[in-house]
């Protein structure tokens, strides 16, 4: 029902009216209880899927931000800065890479 409200099929007042109408009879209450029981596993599965996606994202971050990789990135950026000389584009890219690496590291610290 929440997705129906969000998609514009029902407004809050219509939703409340339907719940009130269904709740006023024994069959309506039985329907609402059955609906909750049937919907719960689907909602739980959606939550589990979301948690798995978060875990996968964190795993990728952990793989990317290991000390050896960070050191290699810093060496590459330092090299780019040394070679940049008069090349403003290379220097700008190296600075952007440093900022991006710093942002990634900041996101990992508690």
Residues 3-35 as b or e (16 or more Cβ within 10 Å = b): eeeeeeebeeeeeeeeeeeeeeeeeeeeeeeee
Q: How many domains does the chain have?
A: 2
Please give the distance of CA 65 from its chain centroid, rounded to a whole number: 19
The range of the structural domain enclosing residue 56 comes to: 1-63
Percent over 70 (pLDDT), the chain: 88
pTM of the predicted structure, to 2 decimals: 0.37
pLDDT tens figures, 18-41: 999 999 999 999 999 998 888 888
pLDDT tens figures, 66-110: 777 777 888 888 887 777 777 888 888 888 888 888 877 777 665
Tell me the H-state helices in 11-87: 12-23, 26-64, 67-84
Same domain, 58 and 72: no
Same domain, 17 and 36: yes
Same domain, 11 and 57: yes
């Amino acid at each position: 029902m929440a997705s129906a409200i969000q998609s514009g099929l029902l407004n809050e007042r219509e939703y409340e009216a339907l719940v009130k109408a269904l709740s006023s009879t024994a069959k309506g209450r039985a329907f609402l209880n059955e609906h909750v029981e049937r919907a719960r596993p689907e909602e739980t599965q959606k939550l589990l899927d979301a948690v798995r996606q978060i875990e996968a994202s964190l795993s990728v971050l952990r793989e990317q931000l290991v000390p050896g990789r960070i050191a290699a990135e810093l060496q590459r950026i330092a090299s780019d800065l040394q070679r940049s000389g008069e090349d403003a584009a290379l220097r700008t890219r190296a600075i952007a890479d440093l900022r991006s690496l710093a942002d990634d590291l900041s996101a990992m610290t508690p």
